[in-house]
């Protein structure tokens, strides 16, 4: 049985910037959910997905957790957090 998981991922470290970003996305979308809607009032699912991916990644990487499997580690890396945040904000600004 072959697996692409590493035997032991190195211990992560707390990343306060990513954690703060995740909390800001969480609070911002909870307090003002209309930010995820178009001018016509329809929900923008692409922007919501990208921002919630950035939020999830911020929480996972922010607390220092490093998944062992390479796919999960890539999906929840600080670089993917930046990518998802950029994609979500670009989507909001382009259609907003």
pLDDT in tens, 6-46: 555 556 789 999 999 999 999 999 999 999 987 788 899 99
pLDDT at residue 2 tops 70: no
Q: Tell me the percentage of the chain whose pLDDT exceeds 90.
A: 70
In this predicted structure, what is the pLDDT of residue 94? 84
Of 51, 34, 56, 49, the residue nearest 89 (C-alpha): 51
% of the chain at pLDDT higher than 70? 88
pTM beyond 0.75: the answer is: yes
Alpha helices in 10-77 (DSSP H): 16-31, 45-62, 70-75
Per the structure block, which two tokens stand in for 22?
Answer: 């995740």
């Amino acid at each position: 049985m072959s697996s692409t998981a590493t035997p032991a991922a190195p211990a992560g470290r707390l990343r306060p910037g990513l954690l703060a970003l995740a909390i800001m996305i969480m609070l911002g979308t909870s307090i003002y959910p209309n930010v995820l809607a178009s001018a016509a009032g329809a929900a923008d699912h692409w922007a919501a997905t990208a921002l919630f991916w950035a939020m999830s990644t911020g929480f996972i990487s922010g607390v220092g957790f490093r998944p062992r499997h390479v796919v999960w580690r890539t999906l929840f890396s600080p670089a993917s957090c930046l990518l998802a945040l950029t994609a979500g904000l670009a989507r909001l600004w382009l259609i907003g």
